[in-house]
Amino acid sequence: MREIILAKYGEIALKGLNKHTFEDMLVKNVKRRLKKFGQFEYFRAQSTLYIQPEDENIDMDLVMEAMEKIFGIAKLCRAVEVEKDFGKIAEKGIEYVSEALEDADTFKVEAKRADKRFPMKSPEICSRLGEIILERFPHLTVDVKNPNVTVTVEIREKGAYIHAVKVDGAGGMPVGSSGRAMLLLSGGIDSPVAGYMMAKRGVHLCAVHFESPPYTSERARMKVEKLASIMARYCGQIKFFCVPFTEIQEKIRENCSEEYFTIIMRRLMMRVAQRLCGENDISALVTGESIAQVASQTMAAMVCTDAVCKMPVFRPVIGMDKKEIIEISRKIGTFETSIEPYEDCCTVFTPKHPKTKPILENVEAEEEKYDFSELVDKAVHETRIYNIDAC
């Protein structure tokens, strides 16, 4: 029995003349993601990508799991391929969908006859197949408006495909179709979710992480790398920038007033991140900030942070409650890792009473007490860059 996966496009289907660019991007992403499972044959027709394994030993459950995480796909079906012969379609097709039919009360049959050389017309296929199904599953009744199960028969160039179960794809746009952005990845719950949401809109993500040994541990960095590898299941391979940040933090602490510490630190992070973006053809920053969540995430604080940014800063979770963010982080599988207790090693540097409504001029005056430009250069220069693949 030869199985095939049908991936129905989401928004791409609605695109105009540039549709094929998005399609190409999606196919490229799918190919890259499925490579580790084995060889596949790909073909496209009518806003659907057909993925057929060339080897019968490929574990299709794992393939489906991976496919469900690829952006740009609205629906996924697993179908059986049979010869274009009604007898075979009825026999093997019904057997393939029998499990779904046994669990249902109502059903209907849908036929798509793309290959017009097939002798039976669509309504005829539907009614004859419906009859046979009713005979074999006497507990079923036909409901054409609201069936529990829709058995679909597609007659195409290469063969006939029969399927009954559709699952939701990840939706969104193919990763890479909307440019490159740099995610500030801290190790908390919010930033992976922010990254996921941008990737969903087709943004190719890179991630920057600031580490401060010995104040933060190797385990803290390993945790962030783990988060990136979980995100990569959705976003594809992530280019990871690990910035040594200890010296900058120590200098802020030595030179600037404590209440401004967090805001100045964030401004310097933005500076370093921006420089890395410039050197790597990345056009925007992404953070996991949610307004009013903590002292450094007030509107006034963001105004001060963004004052150093020459590129857009996207904050896709800005209007979400923690509960909503956690829900997504559980769904994408980053939550369990995010709550590992390593990130707080940096508490040495958090002020007891941070400014919640900092004024830009005051922040700038405070920051001018030390010339950070050399340290920013050094941090950029010493940043380690490596790729992280999906785990």
Partner 1 sequence: MHYLDNAATTKPSVACVKAVNHALCENFGNPSSLYRLGIDAEKAINEARENIAAVLGCDMGEIYFTSCATESSNTVIFGAAENFGKRKKKAVTTTVEHPSVAHCFDKLEKAGFEVVRISPDEKGEIKAEEIISAVDENTFLVSCMLVNNETGYILPVSEAFKRIKKKYPECITHCDGVQGFLKIPFKVKSLYADCISLSGHKVHASKGVGALYVKKGVRIAPYIIGGGQEKNFRSGTECVPLISGFGATVKELSLTIDERYKQALELKKYLAEKLESCKGIKLNSKENSSPYIVSVGVENIKAETLLHYLEAREIYVSSGSACSKGKRSSVLESFRIPGKYLDSTIRVSFCEFNTKEDIDALVTEIKKAQNNLAKIKK
C-alpha–C-alpha distance, residues 380 and 24, integer Å: 35
Distance set, CA 201 to CA 16, 19, 185 (Å): 18, 15, 18
C-alpha–C-alpha distance, residues 172 and 70, integer Å: 9
Per rule CB under 8 A, is residue 213 in the interface with partner 1?
A: yes
Scanning 30-38, 92-100, 135-143, 212-220 for contacts with partner 1 by CB under 8 A, the matching segment is: 212-220
Amino acid at the residue 45: A
Per rule CB under 8 A, is residue 259 in the interface with partner 1?
A: no
Per rule CB under 8 A, is residue 370 in the interface with partner 1?
A: no
Per rule CB under 8 A, is residue 210 in the interface with partner 1?
A: no
Per rule CB under 8 A, is residue 348 in the interface with partner 1?
A: yes
Per rule CB under 8 A, is residue 318 in the interface with partner 1?
A: no
Per rule CB under 8 A, is residue 351 in the interface with partner 1?
A: yes
The nearest distance, CB 345 to partner 1, in angstroms, is 5
Scanning 61-69, 278-286, 294-302, 339-347 for contacts with partner 1 by CB under 8 A, the matching segment is: 339-347
The nearest distance, CB 250 to partner 1, in angstroms, is 6
The nearest distance, CB 186 to partner 1, in angstroms, is 17
The token duo for 250 is 């120590």
The token duo for 187 is 């190790």
The nearest distance, CB 243 to partner 1, in angstroms, is 17
Please, which residue, 110 or 250, has the CB nearer to partner 1?
250
Distance set, CA 376 to CA 181, 254, 342 (Å): 20, 16, 25
Sequence-distant contacts of 141-146: CB under 8 A, at least 24 apart: 141/105, 141/106, 142/106, 142/107, 142/108, 143/106, 143/107, 143/108, 144/108, 146/106
Scanning 112-120, 125-133, 213-221, 294-302 for contacts with partner 1 by CB under 8 A, the matching segment is: 213-221
> Which helix (H) or strand (E) element contains residue 169?
strand 166-171
C-alpha–C-alpha distance, residues 311 and 372, integer Å: 20
- Residues in the chain, total: 391
Candidates 57, 146, 347, 373: give the one binding partner 1 (CB under 8 A): 347
Q: 239-258: which residues touch partner 1 (CB under 8 A)?
A: 249-250, 253, 258
Give the binding site for partner 1 (CB under 8 A): 213-219, 249-250, 253, 258, 341-342, 345, 347-349, 351-352
